[in-house]
Amino acid sequence: MTAQVKRAEPSGVPSPSYIDTPTRSVTVGSTAFAYRDLGPRSGVPLILLNHWGAVLDNFDPRIVDGLARTRRVIAIDYRGIGASGGTAPVTIDGMARDVIELSKALGLNIVDLLGFSLGGFVAQDIVLKAPERVRRLILTGTGPAGGIGIEQVAKVSWPLMLKGLLTLRDPKTYLFFTSTANGRLAARAFLQRLKERKSNRDKGPTPYALLRQLKAIKAWGRQAPQSLDRIRVPVLIANGDQDIMVPTENSHDMARRIPGAQLVIYNDAGHGGIFQYHSEFVHTAQAFLEAQPESIGAISSLSATETMK
């Protein structure tokens, strides 16, 4: 495949915050993929893979900026989503192959991956397809192929999306957070952060793209389980204790099946637990990404449910 990329700022130029980072594009074959690129040029880059229907403006700026203090961070739009061209794939396999080719087009030989929800499905598939290209893996609010309740995402989501419409609230209020006082407060704060970028915002997903991605999610939920014991890179898993979209039991399942995986469970938190506990998550993720290999096992031996008491 041929690739054309609009390059980021040269090394030594201060990187802007995420809400000010320009949207760039890299063309892979005949498809232009939109991305934002910030942070130091040294070290292993971290690619962010987001949730169903998410565009570049759905990445939490506190998490992106926190991680970009010490490393290069690249947030992307999947094919057919936001400012990226083409048609959204209907399989996780298709999305994973796109990300592998995109990373090659950006000149990245090895990367770290952070996948949230759908992005966690894609990240797992990437590391199984191309283990030599992934150094470390962070899986948040996600689950394995064939995981419990994953094929029911639409059944769970549509009523709460309708509730959001009827109550004039963003559906993520109900989908990502608990109904407790803490959950509602966290939801409001998160949604306000997503509005901080005032200019050059990304395009929202089309209904057609949403439905195609949903088809991929359903297929992942019905797919035969993958051999997660083949994942030999360090893995950090994080979720809320009350995830209704990708049930929290899936996080425990992945932690059991991936050799040496570390698990963090946030108390009184849902699917968006990493957004509710963004400061704690950034600290844990930075420690995990920067630790020497022999130190990784000690990074998160306790769950956040315990450590937040």
Domain ranges of the chain: 3-10+21-307
Tell me the C-alpha distance between 288 and 291, whole Å.
5
Tell me the C-alpha distance between 15 and 21, whole Å.
8
Beta-bridge partner residues of 266: 240
Contacts of 113 (CB under 8 A, 6+ apart): 46, 47, 49, 123, 126, 127, 134, 136, 137, 138
Poorest-pLDDT segment among 24-28, 79-83, 155-159: 155-159
Q: What is the pLDDT of residues 9-48, one digit of tens each?
A: 444 445 579 999 999 999 999 999 999 999 999 889 999 9
C-alpha 52 chain-centroid distance: 10
Q: Model pTM?
A: 0.91
Q: In the chain, what is the straight-line distance between the N-terminal and C-terminal CA atoms, in Å? A: 52
Residue 292 confidence class, pLDDT cut points 50, 70, 90 = confident
Q: What is the pLDDT of residues 215-231, one digit of tens each?
A: 999 999 999 999 999 99
Query: What would the CATH number be for the domain defined by 3-10+21-307?
Result: 3.40.50.1820
Residues written for the chain = 309
Q: What is the mean pLDDT of residues 233-261?
A: 97
User: Which of residues 167 and 294 earns the better pLDDT score?
Assistant: 167
Beta-bridge partner residues of 34: 25
Tell me the C-alpha distance between 252 and 163, whole Å.
30
